[in-house]
Amino acid sequence: MKLLIAVALFASFLQPITSFAEIKTITHTVQQPVGGSQAPDDARTAGIARAKREALEQFAPNIESMTVVKESRVDIEEILALTAGVTKTEVIKEKNYTDGDGFGLEITVKVELDTTVLEKSLKRLLQDRSHLKDLKSAREREKKLLSRIVDLEKENQQKGRTKQQSAKLKKEFQTASQGLTAVEWFDKAYALWDGKKSTEPKKVIEYLTHVIRLDPNLAEVFVNRGNAYFNLKQFDLAVADYNQSIRLEPNFAMAYYNRGVANANLKQFDQTVKDFSRAIRIDQNYATAYNNRGSAYANLNQPNRAITDYDQAIRLDPNDAVAYVNRGFTYGELDQLDRAIADYDMSIRLDANYAAAYVAAGNIGIEDVIYHVIRCSLVHCDDKSAKITWNNAISLGIDPSENPILNHQLIWGLIGAVVLSPANSDESITEQYWLLIADFKMFISELWGRIDIAKRVVKHYTGVSIP
C-alpha cells in the first residue's frame, strides 16, 4: 500500500476607490525623505512598501464587509495578509520634491484588487490558517521594518554624528531595506500558490532563494522552499530545507511534518515515524500527522499501530475521508473485511469525489486491486456469476438474492486507479478476469493503461468531461 500523504504548503503580505466590474482600484501617494545616511535606493524601497501598505489599509472596510470575513475572526493584520497576496501593485509616478527641511521622493502607486479572486483566496486561507499565519508574519515583519525606518529617519535628521555613527546608520537603513525587499519576494512566491501546491515551483524556489539571501533566519521560508522542491520531486533538497527550518525553529511542527512527508517518499519510513511523532509532541491535535504516521506504520508492517493512529486521526477530524480509506486498507490486510467496507463506505459518504482523486494520484497498487477488489467479488472469472446491481444512491449493499449492489464511483475509483492509469500500462493479469460494466464484459487484460476508457465511463455516468 502506498503512503497517502499531503504536504502542507504555504509550510507557511488618497483617493476614492473606483470600481469596474469586479476590479477595485486605489491610488495612493507618499512622500519619502532622502538624504544623510539613507541611500536613494533604500528610500525608494521604503516609500513603495509604505505606499502599498497604506493603500491596502484603504481596502480594509470593503474586505471587512464580505460575508466570509464576517463569519471568521480576523484582525487588521490578517486582513492585510489576506489581501496582499492577491493584489497587483504598480508604481505609476515618481518625482523628487523639496521642502524647507530637505528633499525626497514622491511615489504614487496603483493597487488593483479582483474581488472574485480575493473571495476564493479568503475561503482557502481561512480554512487552513497555517498559510494565513505565514502571510500575517510577513505583514508584521513589514510593519516593524517600516516603523524602524521611521526611527532611523529621525536619527538621520540629527547633526553632529561621527563617521562611524553615520556608517552604522547607513548599514541599518540597508538592512531594513533588504528586509522589505525580502517581504516583496515572499509575496511574489505566495502569489504562485493555488491552495494545494505551487503552480510554478521553479519560480517559487527562485523567489524564496532571494528571500533567504536577504534574510537567512526565517524558518517558514525554508519550509515553503522545501515544499516547492517537494512539488518537483526533489525530496533530498526538500529535506535539507526542512532541516534548516528546524534548526532555526526547533518547535516548528509543520517543518517536522513536511520532513516526514519527504522522508516517506524517500522510503525512509523509520525516520518518517520519528518526524511525525515529533510533530505530534509539539501539537497533540495534529490530525493529519496521526493519519500519516499510521500510513508509515502500515508501510513498516505494523498494522495494529497504524490502526491506532488512524483511530486518533478520525477522533480529531471525523470528516477526513483519507483516514477512513487508510484504515479501511489496513483492516483489509488484517482480513477484517466488514470493517474495511464500512470505512470505504464512510469515506465515500464524506467525499464522493475522493475515488476520482485516487485515480489521479495513483495511490492504489496492483496488490490492492488483487486483494481488495477480487476478494470483494467485484471482479469475476468465467466460472463465477456476475449478477451485480449498479446503484449510485448507495456505496455498497446486498440485494435480496445476496448479490452485490455497487456504486460506479467506488468501482471505477478502485479499478481505474490501478488498471486504467497510464503508469501501469505494462502490467498484466490472467486473461479470464473481467468486469461487467453497463452489460458489457470488459476483460481486465485489455484495460491496462487505458485512461481514455476511464474518461468515457466518467462522462457516461456523471456527465463530467475530463480533459
Report the top-level CATH class of 284-349. mainly alpha
Domain ranges of the chain: 284-349, 357-462
Average pLDDT over residues 75-95: 76
The DSSP line for 224-288 is HHHHHHHHTT-HHHHHHHHHHHHHH-TT-HHHHHHHHHHHHHTT-HHHHHHHHHHHHHH-TT-HH
Strand order in the sheet with 102-114: 18-20, 23-34, 102-114, 87-99
Q: Which of 196-210, 364-378, 398-412, 430-444 has the lowest mean pLDDT?
A: 364-378
Separation in Å, CA 309 to CA 277, 316, 334, 368? 11, 11, 16, 21
Kindly indicate the confidence band of residue 89, based on its pLDDT and cuts at 50, 70 and 90: confident
* Beta-carbon contacts of residue 146 (< 8 Å; ≥ 6 apart): 46, 49, 50, 53, 180
- Dump pLDDT digits (tens) for 311-333: 999 999 999 888 988 898 888 78
What pLDDT is recorded for position 368?
46
The DSSP line for 380-414 is B-TTS----EE-TTSSEEE-TTS-EEE-HHHHHHH
Q: Which of 109-113, 180-184, 348-352, 414-418 has the lowest mean pLDDT?
A: 414-418
What pLDDT is recorded for position 421?
72
Kindly indicate the confidence band of residue 24, based on its pLDDT and cuts at 50, 70 and 90: confident
- Residue 156: name the closest of 46, 49, 50 by CA: 46
Geometric angle at alpha carbon 194, from 188 and 200, rounded to 5°: 60
Distance CA 193, CA 231 (A): 11
* Beta-carbon contacts of residue 336 (< 8 Å; ≥ 6 apart): none
Distance CA 312, CA 285 (A): 9
- Dump pLDDT digits (tens) for 27-66: 989 888 888 888 889 989 998 888 888 888 887 777 766 6
Average pLDDT over residues 120-138: 70
